[in-house]
Structures are given as C-alpha cells and as structure tokens.
Amino acid sequence: MATASFFVFWSFLFVNLLQFQSYDFIFNGFNKAPNMTLNGASLVTRSGALRLTNSSANLIGRAFYTSPIRLFNTQSRRPKLSSFSTTFVFAIVKPYEGSGGGGHGLVFTLSPSKQPRRSWFAQYFGLLGPTNNGNSSNHVFAIEFDTVYDMALFGDINDNHVGIDVNSFRSVASAPASYYLNGTNKKEMRLESGLPIQAWIDYNGENEVVNVSISPLSVPKPSHPLLSHKMNLSHVLQESMYLGFSSSTGKLASFHYILGWSFSMNGVAPPLDLHRIPSFPGSQSGSSGLGKKAITIGAVSSAVTLLLLAIVISTFVYMLRRAKQAEVLEDWELDCPHRFRYKDLYVATKGFKEIHILGSGGFGCVYKGVLPNTKEEVAIKRVSHNSKQGVKEFVAEIASLGRLRHRHLVHLQGWCKRNADLLLVYDYMPNGSLDTFLFDEEKDLVLNWPQRFKILQGIASALLYLHEEWEQVVVHRDVKANNVLLDADMNGRLGDFGLAKLYEHGKNPSTTHVVGTVGYIAPELSRTGKATASSDVFAYGALLLEVTCGRRPIDPNAPSGLLLLLDWVRECRQRGQILEAVDPKMEDLYEKEEVEMVLILGLLCSQSTPEARPTIRQVTRYLSGNDKLAKTDVPMEFTDTGSENFGFRSFPSSFGVISTGSLTGGR
C-alpha cells in the first residue's frame, strides 16, 4: 500500500514537472535569443529581426526553438495530445518593389527534426522534399504561407495562400491570404506586401480543431479564423517535436523575416508587444506599421497632384509598351507553324523582367512565364543572334522539331522572332537542371544511385529517339548535365536539341566552328566540325561519368594530373579501384556491379575513334541489362591522351561558339 502511494506521489510530481516545464515562451525580437537554433541561411539582423532567407536563389533558412517539446500528456493511460497556441509576426519582402512574384514563402512547423533530411528548397520550404512529400512517416505538421502557385505538384489555389499541411505540401485545407472583418466579410491581403503580418495558430486537443488566422499588425486577432479544420493530430505528431520556422527560395526569391513569436501549451499564446517588434530592411517607414494615419493624411493632398502626373506618365508608358509589344514580322514568318505572338510572351514574363530569369547559358537567358491565355507555365529561352542569317533556316527546322515527342525530351512548343532575338517556348520543368543537383553545394538533396541511373537511362532513350526512331536523324550536339532537366517526378529530360545547329548555319564553311561544350566535344568533331550521332555518344559518355562521379568532365579543382575526369576514371580502373571514382556523396549506397558497368560504359563511349564507340541503341541495351557489357571489350590502355581526346589542347581559341557549361539553363 505504502509503495503504491509512494509511486502515485512520484508519478504525480513527475507529470506536474513535465506540465510545468516552461513551454510558454515569448520573443519580442530575437536579439539575445539563446534558445533559438538557426541553420541554413537564417540569421538575426542587428535590429533583432530573424531573417530566414535573403533574396539569393535556392536557399533554405530555418529557425527552431532549441529544445524539443513534449505535447502528449502522459497522465492519462492513453497519451493525450495537449492543446497549444502560438502567435508570431512575419514579413515577406520582395527584392525589388513592383517586381513580379518572389518566392517561396515560409512555414511554421512542428517537426521531428531541426534539420530535416531529404528536404529541398523552393516549393518544399526546406522541410520536405520530392522523395518524402506525402509520406506518413514524416510526422510533420505545418502551416504554410505560400507565395508561389504550384498547381501541378501540390494543387495550390493561388500564389498567395495559407494552408494546413500534414506530411505533404498538398494542403489538407487552404485559403487565399485574407482575414474576416466580421462573420461574413473577408478582406484580402498580400503575404508579399513587405508589411508585417501577424499570424495565430491554435490547436484544441479536446475537440481536435486547428484554427489559423492572419491580419495586418494594426488589426487585432480576427474574431473568425481564416482556416478552421478538424483533424486528429495524435496520429501525426510524435512524442517529442521541434517548433519553429522554415523558409526557402528557388529561382524566385524574397526576404523572409520573423519579427516576434510566442507559444503556450495548454494556454493562450502570450500577446506580443507590438511596439517592440524590430524593424527590418524594406519595412515601410522602418517601423511596425502602426500609427501610419498621419502619413496617410499628409499624403492625400500630394496625391491629387501625383494623380495628374500619373495619368500623363501612364499614357506615355502605355504607348511605349504598345510599341514594345508590337509585332515586327517578315513575310516568311507567317508561313511557319508554332509561332507565338510576341505580345503573349511579353505578358507571360511580365516584360522579360529579370526576376523571371530561371538561368542563363551559352545560348542566352531562360525566363519562366505563364502564358496569358492558357495560364500554362512555360520556359522561354531568349537566344540573341546578331546575324539574321540562319534564323530563317532554323525556324523552318523548328517547324519539324516541334513535332518531336518523347517522354524524355523537353517539348519545344514553339518560337517567336523579335528583331535579332529568337524566343523559344518550352515546357516548364519544375526541378531545373541536373547540373545543380550534382554540383550545387546548397542543395540539401543528394541524388541517390537509383535516381541517377533512371535519369541516365531516360536520356539514353531520348537520344535513341533522336538518332534512330524519328523520321530523320537528329543530332543533339550539346548533350551535357546542364541540358538535362528534371520534371516534377525527377525524370531526366533532354533539352535544347537542335539549337546548336543555329550557330552552324550561315557560317563561312572554310573555318571550323565547333559548337558544344568543352569536355563533351568528341575529338573528331574538333577536327572536322561535323557533328554526328557518334559525337553525341561521346558527349553521353562524358555525362555517364559526370553523373556517376559527381564531377565535371573538366574539373580545375581536381588533384594535379586529373584535370580530366576521363583520365581519372581510367587511372582508377588501371589500379583496379574503379569504384574510387564514384561520387562520395552516394555513401556506398549503390549496387557495385551496376555502377561499375556504367563507368566502363562511360569509358567505352569516350573512345577517341568514332568507330570504337557503341551506338546509342547498344548503349540502351547495356543499360537495360538486355546485353551484358564484357569488361574486356573496353581496353585498359588508350593510345591517345585524354586531353587531346577532348580537343582541349589542340584547339585553344578557335571555337566558334562554346557554351561554358557551368551556367544553368534550368527550366
């Protein structure tokens, strides 16, 4: 009996200790906040604002309350989830006022980890990634404040919404950013306004309802929540969870700030002292946005003058824009199919604004656009071509290239010519180029071997289609990691086919102009200047090695003598240690025989004589396992040196056009 009451006493005390452990906290600004753990791009500014990201591309910034919290009340026999309540002030500032949309917003989350593995930037907010989005083993609860419209992947409603997420960014409930004035009237607001916004998130453990509200700082907590969703979080949350914020940028970027935060378990989140909220760069009048009335009144009188001025200016701008968008057509253009109107592309990219640039490469800039009529997302490549020669032939060719259809090709939807610029419209590829996955240190996601192998197989099948399966032989001429784009399901798709040819047309035939990218150019190509299916295979061989080894074909940072990846793989093989060349980031998690086969196939394709290389059909048979690659078929020793093999020393500067290959053309 005595033991029993002793036990009851202690467990009572223990439970109370748990309950009374300080799970209430408040941060009015984040200066001297030792209890916050920051990682990625996040930092605390001098004024005390917590900045999760700056406006650079592809960043992740997170900030979590350092110690985990236990949300389950263990007092009852069956652990029961406690109620919780939190409020915080955030601000999202676009890099330039008036620029198009920034990205990608931020989330408040309860997560099992402060540094979630396999997480991605861009639409994944640095919290989940394409390999685990939707997996119930994530145990992630989040409220998203999302500024990018991603219909295809997550079924987003618009580019300015609040959503409740469980293990997936396909929200269980979402609503356009707005707040209730009373029971019926809602007022819209823009998350990216650059103004501070307060958010409230309440979970009632008894009736299992999550409420979410937002409002401008000058408006108190709305009487009706924007989102109120019944859900049993007991299935989602784990015993011990981290509380905090995560944000990311992709090709689109904004500054994301958290300015104050409070939390309470089994209570109401303590109110923030809004007068102590820190200022942040880009904040209007450097203050919290309270007391703006005086400014408003003063502004009214000048507004009248400004209005008149504005009318004059906007008429002028309108006429200028009309002129900018007007079509300037040559006769032949009307006859070529797949032509887009310049005006539509101009509108799609909001006037080719810099903010819409996805990347740039040897041939020009790539913009992201949304076609005004269909609302379809596209990638628009702007190729500057200072000679008018060749363009007509090229456009004629597009008429036929536009008919190319393959699962692993980026579809070329059409074209448009504008003075010296050629605009090519492609399907938009949400995951950008393979290149960044292999070499971008900022990416949290490491492609595993099955993903890499699948991408390589896809590209081989695309080349097979171009070389053998279509009605005429199409030589790609610029196979490289930068031209391999990844669709929403991480399938590899080959882009930019035929584009290189534009630069070969109309050139003086007596000089050799090699088009391609150093490191992928077959030796005979640099001698004859004639691209063939076999020179594509050579470039594909370089891609095999590049993807497997996680190094560029020419790597100035490599140990001496191993400038060329090809040399290095050969050297490893001669030492009987070919797997030493494999990308260490894969951490030995691969099937050794398969990887070895791919490396040897890479060497086989990289032979200096075209006749010695396999056809792409043969390559696909090796990759699919239909044919077995006998190691003895690939000689250990090569007579030529690798460097010459790449046409690297013998053609120092006589290349006509060489794309540098390191720039992304992500679509």
Ligand X SMILES: *[C@@H]1O[C@H](CO)[C@@H](O)[C@H](O)[C@H]1NC(C)=O
**Residues with catalytic roles:** 478
Residue 87 Cβ vs ligand X, minimum distance, rounded to whole Å = 12
Residue 461 Cβ vs ligand X, minimum distance, rounded to whole Å = 25
Residue 194 Cβ vs ligand X, minimum distance, rounded to whole Å = 17
**Is there binding between residue 224 and ligand X (CB under 6 A)?**
yes
Q: Is the CB of 185 or the CB of 511 nearer to ligand X?
A: 185
Q: Is the CB of 45 or the CB of 228 nearer to ligand X?
A: 228
Q: Interface with ligand X by CB under 6 A: which range of 203-211, 273-281, 410-418, 448-456?
A: 203-211
In 3D space, the residue among 44, 89, 565, 411 whose CA is nearest the CA of residue 573 turns out to be 565
**Is there binding between residue 76 and ligand X (CB under 6 A)?**
no
Q: Is the CB of 54 or the CB of 288 nearer to ligand X?
A: 54
Separation in Å, CA 49 to CA 63, 117, 244, 356, 380? 12, 26, 15, 28, 37
**Is there binding between residue 225 and ligand X (CB under 6 A)?**
yes
Burial degree of 309 (CB within 10 A; 0-12, 13-18, 19+): exposed
Does residue 275 have a cis peptide bond before it, meaning omega lies within 30 degrees of 0?
no
Q: Is the CB of 213 or the CB of 607 nearer to ligand X?
A: 213
Q: Interface with ligand X by CB under 6 A: which range of 151-159, 225-233, 488-496, 593-601?
A: 225-233
**559 C-beta neighbours (distance < 10 Å), count:** 8
Residue 234 Cβ vs ligand X, minimum distance, rounded to whole Å = 4
**Is there binding between residue 211 and ligand X (CB under 6 A)?**
yes
Q: Is the CB of 3 or the CB of 207 nearer to ligand X?
A: 207
Burial degree of 409 (CB within 10 A; 0-12, 13-18, 19+): buried
**372 C-beta neighbours (distance < 10 Å), count:** 14
Residue 588 Cβ vs ligand X, minimum distance, rounded to whole Å = 18
Binding-site member from 3, 5, 76, 232 for ligand X (CB under 6 A):
232
Token pair belonging to 355: 């903010």
**Is there binding between residue 249 and ligand X (CB under 6 A)?**
no
Binding-site member from 38, 41, 258, 598 for ligand X (CB under 6 A):
41
In 3D space, the residue among 523, 521, 503 whose CA is nearest the CA of residue 513 turns out to be 503
Instruction: List the interface residues with ligand X, window 145-184 (CB under 6 A).
Output: 181-184
DSSP-assigned letters across all residues of 254-268:
-EEEEEEEEEEESSP
Q: Interface with ligand X by CB under 6 A: which range of 200-208, 462-470, 475-483, 547-555?
A: 200-208
Q: Is 585 annotated as a binding residue?
A: no
Contacts of residue 646, defined as CB under 8 A and 6 or more positions apart, other chains included, come to 518, 519, 521, 523, 553, 554, 564, 566
Length of the chain in terms of residues written: 667
Separation in Å, CA 465 to CA 198, 208, 477, 620, 661? 54, 55, 14, 11, 24
**Is there binding between residue 56 and ligand X (CB under 6 A)?**
yes
Determine how β-strand 657-659 pairs with β-strand 515-517: parallel
DSSP-assigned letters across all residues of 269-291:
PPPP-GGGPPP-TT-GGGS-S-S
Binding-site member from 37, 45, 74, 204 for ligand X (CB under 6 A):
204
**Is there binding between residue 45 and ligand X (CB under 6 A)?**
no
Q: Is the CB of 589 or the CB of 636 nearer to ligand X?
A: 589
- How many whole angstroms separate alpha carbon 526 and alpha carbon 521? 7
Q: Is the CB of 213 or the CB of 482 nearer to ligand X?
A: 213
Helix, strand, coil % over all residues of the chain, rounded to 5: 30, 25, 45
Q: Interface with ligand X by CB under 6 A: which range of 230-238, 319-327, 574-582, 649-657?
A: 230-238
Residue 263 Cβ vs ligand X, minimum distance, rounded to whole Å = 9
**Is there binding between residue 435 and ligand X (CB under 6 A)?**
no
- How many whole angstroms separate alpha carbon 664 and alpha carbon 443? 14
In 3D space, the residue among 174, 161, 163 whose CA is nearest the CA of residue 141 turns out to be 163
Token pair belonging to 381: 């490549």
Binding-site member from 45, 47, 234, 238 for ligand X (CB under 6 A):
234
Per-residue contact track with ligand X, 21 to 40, x per CB under 6 A? ----x-x------xx-----
Q: Interface with ligand X by CB under 6 A: which range of 54-62, 140-148, 396-404, 555-563?
A: 54-62
Binding-site member from 6, 7, 96, 235 for ligand X (CB under 6 A):
235
**Is there binding between residue 448 and ligand X (CB under 6 A)?**
no
Residues 605, 575 contacting (CB under 8 angstroms)? no
∠ CA 252-255-261, nearest 5°, is 130
Token pair belonging to 534: 């076999």
Q: Is the CB of 135 or the CB of 389 nearer to ligand X?
A: 135
Token pair belonging to 402: 């536009």
Binding-site member from 15, 153, 189, 209 for ligand X (CB under 6 A):
209
**395 C-beta neighbours (distance < 10 Å), count:** 22
Binding-site member from 19, 45, 75, 228 for ligand X (CB under 6 A):
228
In 3D space, the residue among 279, 259, 254 whose CA is nearest the CA of residue 192 turns out to be 254
Per-residue contact track with ligand X, 78 to 117, x per CB under 6 A? x---------------------------------------
Token pair belonging to 488: 């929403």
Binding-site member from 54, 109, 483, 606 for ligand X (CB under 6 A):
54
Q: Is the CB of 120 or the CB of 655 nearer to ligand X?
A: 120
List the binding residues. Answer: 381
List the binding residues for ATP. Answer: 381
- The binding site for ligand X (CB under 6 A) comprises 25, 27, 34-35, 41, 54, 56, 59, 78, 132, 135, 137, 181-185, 202, 204, 208-209, 211, 224-225, 228, 232, 234-235
